[in-house]
Structure 1
Amino acid sequence: MVYAFLYSIALNVFWQNGNIYSGGITGISQIITTFLSKTTTLDIPIAYIYYALNIPLLLVGWFIVDRKFVVFTIIGVTFASFAIDTMPVVALTKDPIICAIFGGAIGGYSLGLALKYGMSTGGMDIVLIGLRRITGKSIGHFSMIINGIIVLTAGFIFGWQHAFYSVLSIIVSAKATDMVYIKHQKVQVMIITHYPDRVVARLQEGLTRGITVIENAKGGYMHQDKAVLITVITRYEMEILKELMKDVDEHAFVSVSHDVEILSDFKELDII
């Protein structure tokens, strides 16, 4: 419900007023609505087209992603369609830059919030999740590529000025999504401890990650024998790691390196 409310604000308060095309299924719905209104007498609400376009993709997701995930997504899409249909188009401003930035920030935050709690906004999200599973790259990365193609198509049909503002909105939206949805962001953790056996056992129990153990390390000050443990986890698991280390060896030295690139297979156990 929170996601649906925020997304309807992004669409009806900012994107619609600034003639910004959001990309994804919503962007396609905007293109269809605009095209029909300019070429025919049909005036079909965006919410109806948005819901109809989601149905075939949700059916595909039922078989290739995760059924529990798809059920939550159906609920999210239903709430979003209802919110988009009932939320009035409030004209706070028609400045395209303001509409692009704030619409992108709110829309991207709502998408990240949905993904973080095990659902999606439907449509292209299922495609994006599939691509992330295959390549390990971020949701925002693929979102920018796919949505950029959609918005450029809208610019070719309806005018390039709005397309350029829409690309700005997509970039902001992708960054906002990646700030909230951090399951795909990897960090390397180095642990220096006197108790490698019990630390490894506890971490493997709590995180189910592979750990490399370097024995016979020696402290440069006290010259005590220690072991160095190296593993790669996601930023989403950092809080779990902190609690585990407090429990198993609160005096261990733990160093975290961000923005790690993995060249081999990275095992992901979450459903997203």
Structure 2
Amino acid sequence: MKKGQVIRFIYRYIMLMIGAAMAAASIELFLVPNLIIDGGVIGVALLLNNLSGINFGVLIFIINLPFLYTGYKHIGKSFFISSLFGIVFLAIIENLLLTMSPVTNEPLLATVFGGLILGAGVGLVIRNGGSLDGTEILGILLSKKIPFSVGEFVMFVNIFVFGWAGFVLGWEQAMYSILTYYIASKAIDAVVQGLSGDTKAAIIVSDEYEEVARAINDRLGRMVTKVYGKGGYHHVDKEIIYVVITRLEVAKLKSIVHDKDEKAFITIMDTQEVHGGRFKSAIH
């Protein structure tokens, strides 16, 4: 392995450890003491832990095994190893935290901060190629055979999980659990899509493309890419400008473009992640 690959490999597994440790801390120090659960496999493991007293780490490992095997067969070896590593580390850290006192006994605080920490931890694991919850693995595979998206499948499963929680823990705790799941899902999205993910991609069609491109580079400090295209109506060749900016630079970009060409056509889209090139999120 080259030096760069070794560094990326080490970084990846450090992030998996941090993500799993955050999830374990959320579960043991916030959620379990307040009888609050999350959705999916983690929620099922927490419910079974409450009913049977079997160690949560053992439960989440056993329940996830068939999903991990399926992931290995259909998604790949790297995903399997990363997920297995994250789940085992989660179980180890959870056991180490068993004797610690909860951070709070206030259910609402446990819901909000437990959900945030859990979501951030799970998001780190997903971002680095693993998973702590087999529900989504199953959803990805079944979505090819059933008329439901992955999100719809996971939601369908969680209806049963939270309904079960209502009977086992009480309906008030079930409502706290639903709120925890919602907060955690938003935190997962923020981490997976990038904490600096307020980036936009802009496509600009203008007859003054040379001046527009130069102005964006000079006044906004952004490098642009020119894409060759052809008008669908007049069939005239055009150079289309593509540039990635931050959310706070949108208004400035519009002003720069319209200063050079009031008739310019601008399309601004959300982006999931930005890697490589010379893009930096700092505002110029």
The TM-score bracket by the shorter chain reads 0.5 to 0.7
| Alignment partner of 1:124 out of 135, 147, 168 | 135
Partner of 1:18: 34
State the one-letter code of the partner of 1:236.
Answer: E
State the one-letter code of the partner of 1:74.
Answer: L
Matches within 5 A, 1:12-161: 12-36=28-52, 43-88=53-98, 89-130=100-141, 146-161=157-172
Partner of 1:256: none
Two-structure CA RMSD over aligned residues (Å): 4.0
Matches within 5 A, 1:203-242: 214=231, 215-216=237-238, 234-237=271-274, 239-240=275-276
The change in CA–CA distance for 1:4 and 1:221 in structure 2 (over 3 A counts) is closer
User: Secondary structure of the equivalent of 1:235?
Assistant: coil
Partner of 1:208: none
User: Secondary structure of the equivalent of 1:190?
Assistant: strand
Query: 1: CA distance between counterparts of 2:200 and 2:260?
Result: 29
Q: After superposition, what is the alpha-carbon deviation per residue over 1:15-69, rounded to whole angstroms, capped at 9, x for unaligned?
A: 0111001122121112112222xxxxxx321111111111111011112222211
Partner of 1:265: none
State the one-letter code of the partner of 1:199.
Answer: K
Question: Structure 1: which 5+ runs fail to align?
Answer: 37-42, 202-211, 245-272
Partner of 2:185: 174
Query: 1: CA distance between counterparts of 2:153 and 2:120?
Result: 16
The change in CA–CA distance for 1:92 and 1:222 in structure 2 (over 3 A counts) is closer
User: Post-superposition shift, 1:120?
Assistant: 1.6
| Percent identical residues | 22
User: Post-superposition shift, 1:145?
Assistant: 5.2
Would the aligned equivalents of 2:34 and 2:106 in 1 still touch at CA under 8 Å? yes
Query: 1: CA distance between counterparts of 2:141 and 2:278?
Result: 30
Would the aligned equivalents of 2:122 and 2:132 in 1 still touch at CA under 8 Å? yes
Q: After superposition, what is the alpha-carbon deviation per residue over 1:181-230, rounded to whole angstroms, capped at 9, x for unaligned?
A: 118999653145438xx7338xxxxxxxxxx655458987667xx9x797
Q: After superposition, what is the alpha-carbon deviation per residue over 1:156-197, rounded to whole angstroms, capped at 9, x for unaligned?
A: 2332111011111111111111111118999653145438xx
The change in CA–CA distance for 1:178 and 1:56 in structure 2 (over 3 A counts) is same
User: Post-superposition shift, 1:231?
Assistant: 9.3
| Alignment partner of 1:189 out of 198, 202, 206 | 202
Say how many residue pairs are matched. Answer: 224
Query: 1: CA distance between counterparts of 2:204 and 2:89?
Result: 45
Would the aligned equivalents of 1:8 and 1:80 in 2 still touch at CA under 8 Å? yes
Query: 2: CA distance between counterparts of 1:86 and 1:152?
Result: 30
**What TM-score do you get using the length of structure 1 for normalisation?**
0.67
Query: 2: CA distance between counterparts of 1:98 and 1:200?
Result: 50
Partner of 1:258: none
Query: 2: CA distance between counterparts of 1:62 and 1:180?
Result: 24
State the one-letter code of the partner of 1:147.
Answer: N
Of stretches 157-166 and 122-131 in structure 1, the one that deviates more from structure 2 is 122-131
